[in-house]
Every structure is written in C-alpha cells, then in structure tokens.
Amino acid sequence: MSLLSRISALLEAALPDPAVPADTAATGAVPTGTSPVGSASARPTGLRPGTAAPPAAAASAQPTGFRPAIAAPAAVLGGPTGLGTAGLRIPPPPVTAAHVTAAHVTTSHVSTPHVTASRPAGGVPPLYCPEPVRDDPALGRIVNERLVAWAGEVGIYPGQLERVRAADFGRLVMLTHPDSDDPDRLLAAAKCALAEWATDDHYCDDASLGATPELLGARLGLALSVVEGAQLPFRYAAEWERGMREDPVLVSLRSAFEHLSRYARPDQVARLRHEIAGLFTAYNQEGSWRVSERSPAVWQYLSHRQINSFLPCIAMVDVVGGYRLPAAEYSAPPVRRVIRLASLASTLVNDLYSMGKEDQATGVDFNLPALIAAEEHCSLAGAARRAARIHDELVHTVEAEAALLGLGGSPELKRYLSAVWAWLGGNHEWHRGSRRYNPGS
C-alpha cells in the first residue's frame, strides 16, 4: 500500500478496546523503562561529552532562511531510561557508556522538544514520540501549493492533483525540517519525496495510473537509471532521453534531483541515490508478494519496512538544514543503525494511522497491525497495541543511542542527530493532525 493511498483512506471507526491481557511476551516487546536493544556494554565506549548544537557564532553565519539548531537527544548520568527522562540535564564529565541515558540539552539558543506518549487518534494507541519543534501552517501551505503545481508540470498523478493537495505533503516537510524557513529548500525535499512515492503509485500500486505487476522490475530499472544518471554510447543516448521524457515518473525523478542539486554536495546526492536504490528494491519485494498473493511474516515485513520507508527523506535533513554531515560519519555503523531504526519507527507511524478498509481489500496484508493479527491470532485492536510497543521500543533505542553518539561526534553529527529526532516528531504530528485521519480536526 503506497503512502498516498494510505493517507487517502479514512479509518472507518475507532478500533474497539476489549479487555486483552498484556501480550508483551508474545511479541518480544520490551517494557517501558528498560533498555530496548542489547545492553550498555554493547554500546560505544570512550565517548566525549559534547553539546547539542553548533556554537551561536556558527549559527549566525548561516544563510537567510535557517533556524537556530534544534535540541538533540543528549546524555546524563545515573538516570532511568524511558518515559519521564526527557527533561533531565547533562551533568559534568566524566561520563561512561554504562551510565548514559537519553535527555535533551537546553541552551540559550536551543529549544527543547518535549517527549510524550501522545493521545490516541482514530483508534491509534498512544505512541512515545517527540513533539514537533515548530508548526508554521503558512509556510506549509506555500510549499504544498508549489509542490502541487510542480506535480502538474511534470505530469504525475494526472487527474488526481486535488488528492495530492489534500494529502498536504507541504505541511509534512515543514514539520519534519524545522531548521529551515526557506520554502525553496523545503520544496526540494518535497519534490524528491513525491517523486519517490509517485514511482510506487504509478508502477506498483495504482492500476488507474498504469501500475502493471509484470512490468514493475523493468520500470524500476529505468527509474534507477535516471536517479544514477545513465551514461550511454552516443548512438543510444538520444533514445534513452526520449524514453525518459515520455514517462512522467522519470521526468519527476530527474526534476527533483536537479532541484536538490542546487543545495546538495555530490556526496549528499550520492547518499540519496543509495537510499533510493534500496527503496526501489523494496518496491520489487512488495511486488513479488502481491503477484504471489502471499503475506510476509512479521519479521520479513519489518526488514522490508526499514528500506520501504521514509529513509530517503531522513537522509536529506542536512541538505535542507544547510550543512553537510561527512560521508564517513553517515556511513559509520552506529550512526547508520540509529538512522535506520528512526526510519522504521517513523514508517510504523504511517502503518498505525493508515489501518483501514483499503489494506483489507487488497487480499494481501502490507500493514504491521494486520500482519501481527494474522500471525498471532489476536484482534486488530490488540495487534495495534503490539505494533505501538514495537514503535516505542525503536524510539527509545534511537533516543538512547543517539545520545551516546552525540557525546563524541562532530558538531555536524550532533546537529544531524537532532534533526533526525525532530523529523520523528514532525512526522508523527503530521499523521496525528491530518484531516485524512481526523476528519473533525
């Protein structure tokens, strides 16, 4: 189920809340207040205390349109993990990994996102997630209108532009990138995201847009040639160019990358290409499940959802913010782990908010609560609560491990991790407040 299809589906009714016994053991979820993954001894050691944001002087040197750096998960000594720890301060060094937990830095120029278990909406269980750093509806509307106009220019979603407008992806990008007030930078990120989702809809999911399972692999291969920039012999280059111009999805991908390249350095563009290659692989994986009419096991789905996810969007946070996380730091296994866990958590938010009749109508379940319900023989309401616990485990892990990484990383890494944290909060706020899920809001 594509993102655009998911957000267009309303929940038919709030999920029932029958008395269901605690089922943590059945899912392997970690209770709140415990370390969700591994132990302290398995985490990096020898980290130096650091600050959550670059110096104020560096912030003042940023181009117009940038906001002050936002707060990142930071570290404290001797405190508990989980709910209720987000407001703790950083004490003086020395610090050892065995005594570090997650919190948030407060400085004269850094705001502190509050971490809460959100109120349920439309049957979605409470989720542990940061609050959004900023909400600027006017900026979101500007980005959204420019995005819809661009979609019309490149030709994606013909006859469905009002559906694209109602999805309000401009608001999503505004909420998830709070360190930039520049509409054009935000639009660059929005174009990339919509081009990726259009690839899913036009090639994988929506027959009315031309999706054909038998052609999926061939089309995704051509799409990747656009993302990578095909280098062909002279005789065939013109034919490739002509074929690219005849397909609105390919036009949108090239246009989006051209816009992003105004702000991104070559290694940042290469990073996005890598994440999109993984995304397209996951589209193919989902296509094989659809053709075979086979639902994946929960563990298969979770590994799939880590790459069929918001990962390409999260990869661009430094581009939108106007700085550069060095490739060596982005690719470092501990950093990569936090980014991938965050991308999975943010995508499970979409799964929880998009539960509804369209998932059930396909005949093949591609939604975590539905898969849990089928595999564990429980109600959909109970499965949603189990999915929420999986989400919360991931967010607690991101919070704690990002705190450790921030102690010894570069200023750019600290800022990047804070931006990932803000992305989680903005993504959740968009889902929580969307009229598509909350018609009365």
pLDDT for residue 40: 34
Residue with tokens 């501990």: 334
pLDDT for residue 123: 82
pLDDT for residue 139: 98
pLDDT for residue 355: 84
> What is residue 205's DSSP assignment?
I
Asked whether the beta carbons of 115 and 128 are under 8 A apart, the reply is yes
In the chain, domain spans: 3-14+23-39+117-433
pLDDT for residue 356: 64
Which of 204, 200, 195 has the alpha carbon at shortest distance from 147? 195
Handedness of CA 410, 411, 414, 420 (dihedral sign): negative
How far are the Cα atoms of 50, 72, 75, 212 from residue 85, in angstroms, in the given order?
A: 19, 14, 10, 49
Tell me the per-residue pLDDT of 160-211, one tens digit each, with 9 for 90 and over: 999 999 999 999 999 999 999 999 999 999 999 999 999 999 999 888 999 9
164-203 core/surface letters (b: 16 or more CB in 10 A; e: else): bbebbbbbbbbbbbbbbbbbebbbbbbbbbbbbbbbbbbb
Q: Tens place of pLDDT for every residue, the chain, 441 residues?
A: 544 444 444 333 333 333 333 343 333 333 333 333 333 333 333 332 233 333 333 333 344 455 544 544 433 223 333 323 233 222 333 333 333 333 332 222 223 344 555 544 558 999 999 999 999 999 999 999 999 999 999 999 999 999 999 999 999 999 999 999 999 999 999 999 999 999 999 999 888 999 998 899 999 999 999 999 999 999 999 999 999 999 999 999 999 999 999 999 999 999 999 999 999 999 999 999 989 989 999 999 999 999 999 999 999 999 999 999 999 999 999 999 999 999 999 999 999 998 864 454 455 668 999 999 999 999 999 999 999 999 999 999 999 999 999 998 999 999 999 999 999 999 999 999 876 655 555
Residue 186 and residue 198: Cα distance in Å, rounded?
18
Domain 3-14+23-39+117-433 in CATH: superfamily? Farnesyl Diphosphate Synthase (1.10.600.10)
Q: Which class for 119: exposed (0-12), middle (13-18), buried (19 or more C-beta within 10 A)?
A: exposed
Q: Which class for 131: exposed (0-12), middle (13-18), buried (19 or more C-beta within 10 A)?
A: middle
Q: Which class for 121: exposed (0-12), middle (13-18), buried (19 or more C-beta within 10 A)?
A: buried
